[in-house]
């Protein structure tokens, strides 16, 4: 599939299998998602800009690499995006954070916006969008449209699970935005849920089932 990278490190696959299991409780689900977000984040931030600066070690002066340029923006698609956000912030604590509140209308599966607050300067920042589930992709497509409206250009989409239908729709709407995912699952069911999937990510993360 075009414009999609599957990050299928063995640790990710193992932790994802634990997350998928019906009996995995909320507290374990949340910890596993945070751990997986570290592993996804490692790959997704691979091309961040660096600059060298002079430092002193206890032994000598040397040139050493530091992150440079405008700070990364992490944009969480509420609610479930927050499950990936915490782990990404562990890796890049200086990142700026935005939130886009969207819920899927259960009948039409259309994404309905209820909140939008993002950092300034998005045109100059690398932007990473976070949502564990790319199902129909209606939510991710709408969120990226809103981010582009405020000028973001260098955007990546990070999810945990993606459905082939969602990847196709997202690629059509935003061919310039690469997707990074831990798994491409089989399909969507009649209610727009990813199969085999893991159920409702927000509910499993926050125990609201
Ligand atoms: C879930 C999930 C995504 C969306 C994916 O959110 O977190 O945002 O569904 O589905 P889509 O690709 O078909 O749009 P939901 O609307 O259930 O809201 P929540 O995160 O607040 O539970
Ligand atoms: N949203 C979820 O949380 N899970 C799915 O399978 C599809 C959309």
Could you tell me the pLDDT band of residue 157, with boundaries at 50, 70 and 90?
very high
Q: Of 62, 108, 172, 208, which one is the catalytic site residue?
A: 108
Closest C-alpha residue for ligand 1 atom 22: 202
- pLDDT at position 13 over 80: yes
Spatial CB neighbours of 180, under 8 Å, sequence gap ≥ 6:
4, 5, 7, 40, 43, 44, 156, 157, 158, 159
For residue 146, how far is its CA from the centre of ligand 1 (angstroms)?
Answer: 16
Q: Mean of the pLDDT values across residues 95-105? A: 96
Could you tell me the pLDDT band of residue 150, with boundaries at 50, 70 and 90?
very high
- pLDDT at position 1 over 80: no
Q: Which ligand gives the minimal distance to the CA of 207?
A: 1
pLDDT of the residue at 129:
98
Could you tell me the pLDDT band of residue 2, with boundaries at 50, 70 and 90?
confident
CA angle 166, 13, 27 (to 5 degrees): 90
pTM attached to this predicted model:
0.96
| 103 Cβ inside 6 Å of ligand 2 | no
For residue 133, how far is its CA from the centre of ligand 1 (angstroms)?
Answer: 7
Peptide bond before 79: cis, by omega within 30 degrees of 0?
A: yes
pLDDT of the residue at 106:
87
CATH of span 4-206: 3.40.50.2020
């Amino acid at each position: 599939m075009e414009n999609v990278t599957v990050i299928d490190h063995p640790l990710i696959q193992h932790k994802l299998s634990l997350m998928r299991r019906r009996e995995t409780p909320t507290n374990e689900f949340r910890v596993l998602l945070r751990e997986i977000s570290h592993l996804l984040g490692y790959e997704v931030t691979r091309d961040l800009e660096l600059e060298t600066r002079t430092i002193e070690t206890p032994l000598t002066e040397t040139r050493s690499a530091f992150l440079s340029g405008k700070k990364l923006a992490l944009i969480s698609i509420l609610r479930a995006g927050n499950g990936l956000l915490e782990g990404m912030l562990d890796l890049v604590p200086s990142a700026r954070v935005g939130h886009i509140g969207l819920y899927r209308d259960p009948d039409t599966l259309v994404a309905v916006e209820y909140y939008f607050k993002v950092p300034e300067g998005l045109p100059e920042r690398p932007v990473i969008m976070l949502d564990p589930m790319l199902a129909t992709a209606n939510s991710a497509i709408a969120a990226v449209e809103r981010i582009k409206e405020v000028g973001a250009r260098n955007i990546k989409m990070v999810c945990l699970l993606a459905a082939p239908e969602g990847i196709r729709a997202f690629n059509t709407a935003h061919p310039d935005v690469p997707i990074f995912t831990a798994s491409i699952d089989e399909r969507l069911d009649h209610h727009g849920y990813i199969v085999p999937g893991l159920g409702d990510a927000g509910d499993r993360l926050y125990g609201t089932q």
